[in-house]
Amino acid sequence: MAHLSDAQVALFEEQGYLVVEKVFDPAQDLDPIIDEYKGVLENLAQELYTKGEISSTYSELPFGQRLIQIYAESGKVHAQYFDFSLPYPNIHEDTPMWVGPAVFNVMRNPHLLDAVESLIGPEIYSNPVQHVRLKPPERLTPMNRETGKVQLGATPWHQDNGVVVAEADDTQMLTVWFPLTDATEENGCLLVVPNSHRDGVLQHCPTGGGLQIPERFFRKQEMIPLPMRRGDALFMHRRTCHASLSNNSNDIRWSFDLRYNPIGQTTGREVFPGFVARSRQNPQSELRQAGEWANLWYQTRSRLAQDEVHVPINRWITDDPACA
């Protein structure tokens, strides 16, 4: 694809989100990620089998069914093994993560960056607030014994601006969300509230499932679902209210969510490493080697595992009166 049209940019600015079809070539851009993650799942299966936590590696199963079975039998969602971020502040020298070349390559995908450039300009920084989501069907997902809720379920209502520190409120942070497999209403596609980006940063309350906006603070009745095909991408304003539906299908719902902002603006999570994804002014500043990106994360993990001083990564407190 080329850069976004003026009409698409105007629609993004008006609604606070934009779904663009066929940003990625599924076979060329997404299948390498899937193949890479098959290796990650194989390593996890072998590790759990060796420890006696599962009775089989289930190598005969397709990826989604294999992950579901491993999570169910082990009684734990092993999401951190697949994520390309860290669970701050609970970081250790051996905290698992995956920072493979296929993940890095999709962050620098030229078609994706063309669209990003249309929305935030040509000096593009890859913001480290980023995740992969591999969501099993909720009825097959292990429960948290303390809370009585599934360990990985529907994403609660929030704004991406709300999950970073206040110093990043003026950062022109753009969310890019895209599915590795089709996202449907049955398997847990995203929900958005159009025009909610105009309402400012709303109150968020810490819960067992992460930060959540109490329903009285936004126009939930105006929400709409966004089913998407693999290859499509959602571009979302940092203050757009969004959530996900539950996965009620028979397979996983698999997605990436990435962030970008103009070079020089704070990321809202400065303890983690970002990188220059595109610079028209200074192309030599771009990070182009997957190994260098991976090393940034390994070095960060080592440093933070030894750091006894933790800095806040969001502004909200549990005992805020608004959360009572």
User: What pLDDT, in 10s, does the model give residues 49-70?
Assistant: 999 999 999 999 999 999 999 9
Q: How do the domains of the chain map onto residue ranges?
A: 6-308
Main-chain dihedrals φ then ψ at residue 177, nearest 5 degrees: -120, 130
What is the Cα–Cα distance from 112 to 269, expressed in whole angstroms? 23
Q: Which CATH architecture has domain 6-308?
A: Sandwich (2.60)
Cβ atoms 211, 204 nearer than 8 A? yes
What is the Cα–Cα distance from 112 to 212, expressed in whole angstroms? 29
User: What pLDDT, in 10s, does the model give residues 264-275?
Assistant: 999 999 999 999
State pTM to two decimals. 0.96
Cβ atoms 78, 126 nearer than 8 A? no
Which band of pLDDT confidence, cut at 50, 70 and 90, is reported for residue 1?
Answer: low
- Residues 6 or more apart whose Cβ sits within 8 Å of residue 283: none
Question: Omega before 32 cis (within 30°)?
Answer: no
196: nearest Cα among 173, 224, 170: 224
